[in-house]
Amino acid sequence: MRHAIAHWLSSLALLSSPTLAQTTYAVGVRDVTFANPTSQGSTTLPTRVLYPATVAGSNTPLLQQSGGWPAVTFLHGFALLGSSYEALGRRWAERGFVVALGNTAQFDNLLQEDDGRAMFAALQVANATPGGPFFGGIDLGRVGIAGHSMGGGNVANVLAANPGYRCGVAIAPVQPRGNNGALVTVPLGIIAGDGDTITPPTTTAVPYYGSLSAFSQLKLLYRLNGDASHTNLVGLFVFGTTATEVFARSASVALGFLQHTLDGDPTGLELALGDDALAEPRLVACEGGVERAQAWAAADLVLGATVSVRAGLEPGIGGLVAAPGPLVPPLPTPFGELLLDPSTALVLQVGVVGAERRVDATIAVPADPSLVGAVVSLQAFGAEPAQPLSLGGAMSLVVKP
């Protein structure tokens, strides 16, 4: 198969696609009081916003990007404020997200839930306000919600009556109210630590994860050992090497989940489910449920390099289909919609998937400078809860120097 891919690449020198780079951006910080455009929640929504900026600093201009940036609303823990989580927000903003750290409902769980829904509407208004600092800067089709502790439980509570968020991330969460976990219909990732004595994973994160029966695409539970506490998972009270490393891993796993579900980055999920994340020495368990087979790459395609590409899916038969060129309009098949050119597509890898829920393959890129900008597209296929074999998520990779 490597020879076939190399042959494709040799014929694709003129095909190109926008590159999804893992770029680090300068971070701007701006304290904003949004008006609440809804009839529920706080009258105003004071928020600390971190964002990709033209230059780092307070109140610096948002860096413009065609179509706007993906965004994340963040809900704080009980007795805290969103601004307490600036270290976490900065990690995500420097990788291309507008992060809205809400400073409302410090001691009120139900009020925070209402404010979490209202923040989506507030971002819509901010994006549509000429002359405002975020005018045209947010891609409203790529907005997620994340939270810690009380806010982590409220992620599911908000998503149970979702105003438009595309995914959720809950870190060291309390449990959602009632049956709300079962009402979440978007991807949701949970990060927890066995050193958490406030929301122990066995009584919070684990049943929370189990309640997510209606999610789409994927759900994730990433659980660290006793070194991971209620606070260091989100960068609060981080002192010493251990706490710093726990925070770095938690922030990275959450970032990868957000990049995959919001950013369209073909390498994003590697941060959450790739070899490095699974080799984390503090990892106790990494569980994933797949509603639709997912495809991702361990790294960008680079001249002269061999890159691992992966499919995440439920146990059964599954793998990856590949084709030269960009994705094509959906073509109906008995196994779902094919997003690759059927005249050139071939099976790159197929195998029997077990509890690891992953199939790996490799693409070898010739060291030929004329291939820079060439495109290879891949689509995952495999078992899903509703049927034994189905076409799933797809991605395009662009060859880089």
Q: Give the per-residue pLDDT at 227.
A: 98
89 within a domain of the structure (yes/no): yes
pLDDT band at 3 (very low <50, low <70, confident <90, very high): very low
- Name residues whose C-beta falls within 8 Å of residue 110's C-beta, 6 or more positions apart in sequence: none
Helix or strand run (H / E) with residue 364: strand 358-364
Cα–Cα distances in Å, from 294 out to 184, 261, 310, 319, 375? 19, 10, 8, 10, 19
The b-or-e profile of 218-242 (16+ CB within 10 A means b, else e) is bbbbbbbeebbbbbbbbbbebeeee
Q: Does residue 217 sit in the same domain as residue 319?
A: no
Q: Does residue 360 sit in the same domain as residue 285?
A: no
> Is the torsion defined by CA of 84, 87, 92, 96 positive or negative?
positive
What backbone torsions phi and psi does residue 313 show, to the nearest 5 degrees?
A: -160, 170
Residue 329 belongs to a domain with what CATH number?
2.20.130
304 within a domain of the structure (yes/no): yes
295 within a domain of the structure (yes/no): no
Question: In 3D, which of 275, 305, 304, 273 has the Cα closest to residue 290?
Answer: 273
* Calpha distance 259→252 (Å, rounded): 10
| pLDDT at residue 20 is higher than 60 | no
Q: Does residue 107 sit in the same domain as residue 130?
A: yes
pLDDT band at 285 (very low <50, low <70, confident <90, very high): very high
Q: Does residue 259 sit in the same domain as residue 327?
A: no
Q: Give the per-residue pLDDT at 22.
A: 59
Question: In 3D, which of 50, 49, 51, 42 has the Cα closest to residue 106?
Answer: 42
Of 290, 315, 345, which marks where a domain is finished?
290
Specify the residue for token string 């509570």: 157
Count other Cβ atoms within 10 Å, centred on residue 90.
Answer: 17
- Name residues whose C-beta falls within 8 Å of residue 129's C-beta, 6 or more positions apart in sequence: 135
pLDDT band at 388 (very low <50, low <70, confident <90, very high): confident
- Name residues whose C-beta falls within 8 Å of residue 113's C-beta, 6 or more positions apart in sequence: 154, 157, 158
Q: Give the per-residue pLDDT at 194.
A: 98
| pLDDT at residue 341 is higher than 80 | yes
Helix or strand run (H / E) with residue 380: strand 375-384
Q: Does residue 249 sit in the same domain as residue 331?
A: no
pLDDT in tens, 77-126: 999 999 999 999 999 999 999 999 999 999 999 999 999 999 999 999 99
Q: Give the per-residue pLDDT at 7.
A: 54
Q: Does residue 218 sit in the same domain as residue 352?
A: no
Q: What value does the mean pLDDT of the chain take?
A: 93
Q: Give the per-residue pLDDT at 169.
A: 98
Q: Residue 325: which domain range?
A: 2-17+300-398
Q: Does residue 276 sit in the same domain as residue 304?
A: no
Q: Give the per-residue pLDDT at 354.
A: 87
Count other Cβ atoms within 10 Å, centred on residue 62.
Answer: 22
Q: Does residue 97 sit in the same domain as residue 237?
A: yes
State the average pLDDT over residues 154-181.
98
Q: 283-290 and 218-224 as β-strands: parallel, antiparallel, unpaired?
A: antiparallel
Q: Does residue 321 sit in the same domain as residue 265?
A: no
Q: Give the per-residue pLDDT at 63.
A: 98
pLDDT in tens, 125-148: 999 999 999 999 999 999 999 999
Q: Does residue 197 sit in the same domain as residue 261?
A: yes
Residue 279 belongs to a domain with what CATH number?
3.40.50.1820
| pLDDT at residue 9 is higher than 60 | no
How many whole angstroms from its chain centre is CA 322? 23
pLDDT in tens, 318-337: 999 999 999 999 999 999 99
- DSSP letter (8 states) at residue 259: I
Q: Does residue 227 sit in the same domain as residue 79?
A: yes
Q: Which two tokens stand for residue 23?
A: 């770029």
135 within a domain of the structure (yes/no): yes
Contact 221, 195 (CB under 8 A): no
Helix or strand run (H / E) with residue 127: helix 109-127
* Calpha distance 145→279 (Å, rounded): 27
How many distinct structural domains can be found in the chain?
2
DSSP result, 166-190 = --EEEESPPPPSTTGGGG--S-EEE
Contact 58, 67 (CB under 8 A): no
Write a three-state SS string for 270-330: HHHHCHHHHCCCCEEEEEEEECCCEEEECCCCECCCEEEEEEECEEEEEEEEEEECCCCCC
Q: Give the per-residue pLDDT at 293.
A: 94
22 within a domain of the structure (yes/no): no
Q: Give the per-residue pLDDT at 14.
A: 34
Of 290, 319, 349, which marks where a domain is finished?
290
Q: 314-324 and 346-353 as β-strands: parallel, antiparallel, unpaired?
A: antiparallel
Q: Does residue 149 sit in the same domain as residue 31?
A: yes
Burial class (CB in 10 A: 0-12, 13-18, 19+), 389: middle
pLDDT in tens, 221-280: 999 999 999 999 999 998 999 999 999 999 999 999 999 999 889 999 999 999 999 999
Of 290, 312, 341, which marks where a domain is finished?
290
Cα–Cα distances in Å, from 41 out to 110, 155, 300? 9, 15, 43
* Calpha distance 182→173 (Å, rounded): 16
170 within a domain of the structure (yes/no): yes
E-assigned strand segments in 7-161? 27-35, 44-52, 57-58, 69-75, 98-102, 138-148
